Amino acid sequence: MVQLSHSRYGKDNIRLLKVERDPTNPRLQYVYEFTIRVMLEGDIAAAYTHADNAPVVTTDSMKNTTHILAKKNPVSPPELFASILGTHFVTTYAHIHKAFVHIVQHRWTRYAVDGAPHEHSFIRDGEEVRVVDAEVDESGPITLNGGIADLLVLKSTGSAFYGYVQDKYTTLPETEDRIMSTAIDATWKFDQFENLEAVRASIETIEKGYASAREITLNTFATHESASVQATLYLMCQRIIEANSTIGEVSYRLPNKHYFEIDLSWFEGLKNTGEDAQVYAPQSNPNGLITATVTRD
Ligand code: AZA
């Protein structure tokens, strides 16, 4: 005998771009580009176990709904739009009990022309994305995670790594000065919202959470005299929680992108290691991967 122990289904990679026009100057515009995943849970087992499609809200309808709700509602901040979308599914269909909405917001940053911000022209200034995960329960509560992914950073000094296990497997030289680079993937969890209205009332807090988490991440990366990726990661989490009273949990996933010194002494005694290191070999793999979640006591 077997049983269906868990089921969730939905539409992934729903893409949309929304243009919003300033009411007093329609040439002044704002753009938001998203890739969205909508997943639903509820009384849907029959579709799996009895080939009965009666409970199935089609994934095509989920795509249509996403487009329609984007037209009819604000899409910024993405945490709010994810909550609106999730709430729609759990309030429209009695047999759908939970909705999970994941939004990736791609960067379109207004750029300057002749020194002035242009009204309707934007640049993709990096592959960094803003991410949101909303979990909406039919009884009201909404759990929101904000985040950043693919924010590629590098510092050329201010990072050391020594004092680690030395045994017969160890070849890595200790260093007091190395390159540190990572693609930042950070997630912060807000205290649970009672319902959609509570999310609407907290837009400023949500935006502040994003801005402060991003700024703390970048500032800490730059200014912390790092003993390890682990120590810098923990400090970032601690600072975000301290600066945001409604964020109780922060997680990072940091690949350690290695740049190795190249010993060039074989060529005419050229010095290129230690304090003379200037030309490095970027490594594509393997890479370290340092992760942790830090919560408020
Ligand atoms: N943490 C670091 O910051 N650098 C490393 C590690 C580690 O765990 N292992 N090798 N290099």
CATH number for 245: 3.10.270.10
- Separation in Å, CA 225 to CA 19, 179, 186, 228: 43, 12, 20, 9
Two tokens at 76?
A: 């910024």
> Do 14 and 39 belong to one domain?
yes
Q: Whose CA is nearest to atom 9 of ligand 1?
A: 288
Of the residues 140, 171, 198, the one at which a domain ends: 140
Instruction: Give residue 191's identity as a one-letter amino acid code.
Output: D
Q: What is the pLDDT of residue 238?
A: 98
- The number of the ligand 1 atom at minimal distance from the alpha carbon of 159 is 3
Of the residues 109, 140, 171, the one at which a domain ends: 140
Structural domain includes residue 247:
yes
**Which residues line the pocket of ligand 1, CB cutoff 6 A?**
161, 172, 228-230, 256, 288, 290
Catalytic residues: 11, 59, 258
- Which of 230, 254, 258, 259 is the best mutation target for the ligand 1 pocket, counting ligand atoms within 8 Å of the beta carbon and taking the most? 230
> Do 99 and 123 belong to one domain?
yes
Compute, in angstroms, the gap from residue 10 CA to the centroid of ligand 1: 38
> Do 133 and 156 belong to one domain?
no
Compute, in angstroms, the gap from residue 230 CA to the centroid of ligand 1: 8
> Can you tell me the distance from the alpha carbon of 240 to that of 143, in angstroms, rounded to the nearest whole number?
18
Local confidence band at 152 (pLDDT 50, 70, 90 cut-offs): very high
Q: What is the pLDDT of residue 259?
A: 98
Full residue range of the structural domain in which residue 81 is found: 1-140
> Can you tell me the distance from the alpha carbon of 8 to that of 44, in angstroms, rounded to the nearest whole number?
8
Compute, in angstroms, the gap from residue 104 CA to the centroid of ligand 1: 29
Q: What is the pLDDT of residue 234?
A: 98
Local confidence band at 290 (pLDDT 50, 70, 90 cut-offs): very high
CA atoms within 13 A on the CB side of 134: 33
- The number of the ligand 1 atom at minimal distance from the alpha carbon of 180 is 3
Local confidence band at 113 (pLDDT 50, 70, 90 cut-offs): very high
Q: What is the pLDDT of residue 141?
A: 98
Compute, in angstroms, the gap from residue 160 CA to the centroid of ligand 1: 10
Element spanning 22, H or E: none
pTM, full prediction = 0.97
Local confidence band at 193 (pLDDT 50, 70, 90 cut-offs): very high
Structural domain includes residue 145:
no
> Do 190 and 94 belong to one domain?
no
Of the residues 140, 168, 201, the one at which a domain ends: 140
Instruction: Give the burial string for 254-291 (b: 16+ CB within 10 Å, else e).
Output: bbbbbbebeebeeeeeeeeeeeebeeeeeeeeeeeebe
Compute, in angstroms, the gap from residue 164 CA to the centroid of ligand 1: 9
- The number of the ligand 1 atom at minimal distance from the alpha carbon of 227 is 3
Q: Whose CA is nearest to atom 10 of ligand 1?
A: 288
- The number of the ligand 1 atom at minimal distance from the alpha carbon of 231 is 3
> Do 154 and 297 belong to one domain?
yes
The mean of the pLDDT values for the chain is 98
Instruction: Give residue 163's identity as a one-letter amino acid code.
Output: G
Total domains in the fold of the chain: 2
Q: Which long-range contacts (CB under 8 A, 24 or more apart) does 229-238 make?
A: 229/180, 229/182, 229/254, 229/256, 229/288, 229/290, 230/290, 230/292, 232/180, 233/290, 233/292, 234/292, 234/294, 236/186, 237/292, 237/293, 237/294, 238/294
> Do 119 and 165 belong to one domain?
no
Closest CA to 242 of 260, 272, 220: 220
> Cβ(141)–Cβ(194) under 8 Å?
yes
Closest CA to 135 of 162, 164, 100: 100
Local confidence band at 278 (pLDDT 50, 70, 90 cut-offs): very high
* pLDDT tens by residue, 97-109: 999 999 999 999 9
Closest CA to 180 of 240, 128, 148, 220: 220
> Do 101 and 162 belong to one domain?
no
> Do 136 and 259 belong to one domain?
no
Q: What is the pLDDT of residue 285?
A: 96
> Do 116 and 259 belong to one domain?
no
- Separation in Å, CA 223 to CA 34, 227, 235: 32, 12, 11
> Do 132 and 210 belong to one domain?
no
> Cβ(161)–Cβ(175) under 8 Å?
yes
- Largest Cα span, the chain: 78
Structural domain includes residue 29:
yes
> Do 56 and 157 belong to one domain?
no
> Do 193 and 70 belong to one domain?
no
**Cβ-proximal residues to 112 (8 Å cutoff; 6+ apart), any chain:** 118
- Which of 224, 253, 254, 290 is the best mutation target for the ligand 1 pocket, counting ligand atoms within 8 Å of the beta carbon and taking the most? 290
